[in-house]
Amino acid sequence: MPEKEIKDIGNSFFEEISKLSDERALYAVKVKYVGRNGILTKILKNLKNISSEQRKLIGPLANNLRQEIENAFEKRKKELSEQIDWEKEKLDVTLPGKKVEIGRLHPITSVYREIEKIFSSMGFEIVEGPELETDWYNFTSLNFPFDHPARDMQDTFWVKSPKEKMVLRTHTSPVQVRYMEKRKPPFRIIVPGRVYRNEATDAAHEHTLHQFEALVVGNDINVGNFKHIAKQFFSAFFGKNIDIRLRPSFFPFTEPSFEFDISCTVCGGKKCPSCKNAGWLEIGGAGMVNQNVFVSAGYPRNKYQGFAWGFGIERLAMMKYKIDDIRWFESGDLRFIKQF
């Protein structure tokens, strides 16, 4: 029966496309039925060869079916394009998560924090001051003679300013006078901060440095207090017993003045390549505050005593982390920072 034949064609088409989930396969099935040589197309083409009676019966059925096939094809195609591929989309909670990049502290920052922690525990106050200074605070108030070489263009960055000649501070000591102008002894402070030197850079020299300075002032302060506090600080910082050695020196703002060394952090004083077989490592400068500095700050002469000492944070960080070139600190190279 021709009607049954057409019905069967329709059924098998719908069965086939219901199983498909791929657009190309869907299109191939459509061609198989209504393409140029499709099963249904052949019947439609053959309509002109059959009797008009049968044509009246089969013609509308075949044409309807072709329309149904076209509609079903479009509908299925739309369904497929809207379907989410859950295989691809599903979340596998067992996969390792995306790694979050964690920032690191610059070694200078770490050393700063370590220093501040130790001194805070010893009752020191942390004080900061401006990096752009006047000649008065950077040099004159600290008893620098007018012909002192530190005032030379070769060592110092001078900055043009409408009012007066300014200087990028060459040390953190200006903060001593700024602080003492506002406070009366006794006190103990540390001054961490950035300082600048107008010099050529190499593995041991930088133009931008970090310094840290301590100032203790009272009525009966002496060099023994300095040695004791320095020993406590360095022993805490390096996590081992450290000895302090003083050598006579000269600084305008202290009298007497010392260079101070610490016992080698590698060999403990037994002599090794790290300390060039000296057993000691040069660290910084110190001394009893020159009375002229107290006078600059407005204190009466010879009423108070105090000691001041300072050193470079880069040098300390290089010793602690075994860094061989000071230029790494300002290099901005993340590979360097990620090591700490």
The answer to whether 246 contacts Zn ion (rule: CB under 5 A) is no
Give the up-direction half-sphere exposure of residue 63: CA atoms within 13 A in the CB hemisphere. 7
Each residue of 91-102: b (16+ CB within 10 Å) or e?
eeeeeeeeeeee
Residue 238 in contact with Zn ion, rule: CB under 5 A: no
Q: Which of 57, 72, 246, 272 binds Zn ion (CB under 5 A)?
A: 272
Nearest-angstrom CA–CA distance, 226 and 212: 15
Candidates 232, 249, 274, 292: give the one binding Zn ion (CB under 5 A).
Answer: 274
Residue 264 touching Zn ion (CB under 5 A): yes
Find the part of the chain contacting Zn ion (CB under 5 A) among 117-125, 164-172, 234-242, 270-278. Answer: 270-278
236 binds Zn ion (CB under 5 A): no
Measured from each CB, the residue nearest to Zn ion is: 264
Q: Does 283 bind Zn ion (CB under 5 A)?
A: no
Q: Does 50 bind Zn ion (CB under 5 A)?
A: no
Q: Which is nearer to Zn ion, 109 or 274 (CB)?
A: 274
Which of 140, 266, 282, 292 is the binder for Zn ion (CB under 5 A)? 266
Burial bucket for residue 79 (CB in 10 Å: 0-12, 13-18, 19+):
exposed
The answer to the question of residue 337 lying near Zn ion (CB under 5 A) is no
Q: Closer to Zn ion by CB, 126 or 272: give it.
A: 272
172 close to 310: Cβ distance less than 8 angstroms: yes
CB of 265 to Zn ion, least distance (A): 8
- Pairing status of strand 166-168 against strand 132-134: antiparallel
Q: How far is the CB of 264 from Zn ion (least distance, A)?
A: 3
**Binding segment for Zn ion among 58-66, 91-99, 206-214, 271-279 (CB under 5 A)?**
271-279
Q: Does 265 bind Zn ion (CB under 5 A)?
A: no
Q: Does 281 bind Zn ion (CB under 5 A)?
A: no
Binding to Zn ion by residue 267, rule CB under 5 A? yes
245 is a site residue for Zn ion (CB under 5 A): no
Residue 43: exposure state from Cβ atoms within 10 A (0-12, 13-18, ≥19): buried
Is residue 41 near Zn ion by the rule CB under 5 A?
Answer: no
Let me know how many helices (H) and strands (E) the chain has, helices first: 12, 10
Please, are residues 170 and 195 in contact by the beta-carbon 8 Å criterion?
yes
Helix (H) or strand (E) holding 159: strand 158-159
- Considering the complex, what minimum distance in angstroms separates the CB of residue 327 from Zn ion? 24
Gap between the Cα atoms of 131 and 149, Å rounded:
20
